[in-house]
Amino acid sequence: MKCPSCGHLDNKVIDSRLSRERNVIRRRRECFACSRRFTTYEKVEESMPAVLKKDGRREPYDRDKLRAGIDKALEKRPVSIEERDHMMMRIEKRLQEKGEREVASNIIGDAVMEELHAADQVAYVRFASVYRQFKDINEFMEELQDLLKESRRREQESVAGQETPA
């Protein structure tokens, strides 16, 4: 590791620690030449698959596009930055676990839909309205009705689970 102060290549590691997420190692180093201390971060380089668009084009995976889509759907919604980061990590992990060199854009869109559905139903509907390109209000209403049915079903299951036999 090259010293940022003098450019010397020889240094020693003074301290190593794992990040909270346990996916990055933070190392404190000291240069043998100038004795300056500096910090480096070590992370596994993970390659993401290329994205195969609906029209057949291929483009490199763009984390910023994923973040922008999630942020737009969650605009002014009570979902923390930390939870948004976790959504991104889960989606990216799912893509990497596929082990494919290319992934269709609809796979990414569906993964975002699942994450938003679990996090915030308003954001889910916002994203769905753009992602699914509803042709008219009827398609939009069908999606909302499905969401309401599922919400009621979950509520009934929750109430039934809380009832205790006499």
pLDDT in tens, 11-26: 999 999 987 777 789 9
The set of residues, in sequence order, having a beta carbon less than 8 Å from that of 94 and lying 6+ positions away, is: 111
Structure letter (DSSP) for residue 136: S
Nearest to 106 by CA among 77, 133, 144: 133
Q: Is residue 163 part of a domain?
A: no
Q: What residues make up the domain containing 29?
A: 11-43
Q: What percent of the chain has pLDDT over 90?
A: 49
Same domain, 16 and 73: no
Q: Is residue 17 part of a domain?
A: yes
The set of residues, in sequence order, having a beta carbon less than 8 Å from that of 49 and lying 6+ positions away, is: 61, 95, 96, 98, 100, 101, 102, 103
Helix (H) or strand (E) holding 65, with range, is: helix 63-73
Average pLDDT in the 83-102 region?
Answer: 90
The set of residues, in sequence order, having a beta carbon less than 8 Å from that of 11 and lying 6+ positions away, is: 1, 3, 29, 30, 31, 32
The set of residues, in sequence order, having a beta carbon less than 8 Å from that of 43 and lying 6+ positions away, is: 23, 24, 25
Measured between alpha carbons, how far is residue 121 from residues 37, 95, 124, 127, 163 in Å? 48, 23, 5, 10, 26
Same domain, 55 and 34: no
Whole-structure pTM value: 0.61
Helix (H) or strand (E) holding 42, with range, is: strand 37-43
CA distance 105 to 119: 21
Q: Is residue 78 part of a domain?
A: yes
CA distance 148 to 150: 5
Q: Is residue 16 part of a domain?
A: yes
Residue 99: both structure tokens together: 């082990």
Least confident of 45-49, 75-79, 154-158: 154-158
Average pLDDT in the 117-136 region?
Answer: 82
Structural domain tally of the chain?
2
Q: What percent of the chain has pLDDT over 70?
A: 96
40 and 1 in contact (C-beta within 8 Å)? yes
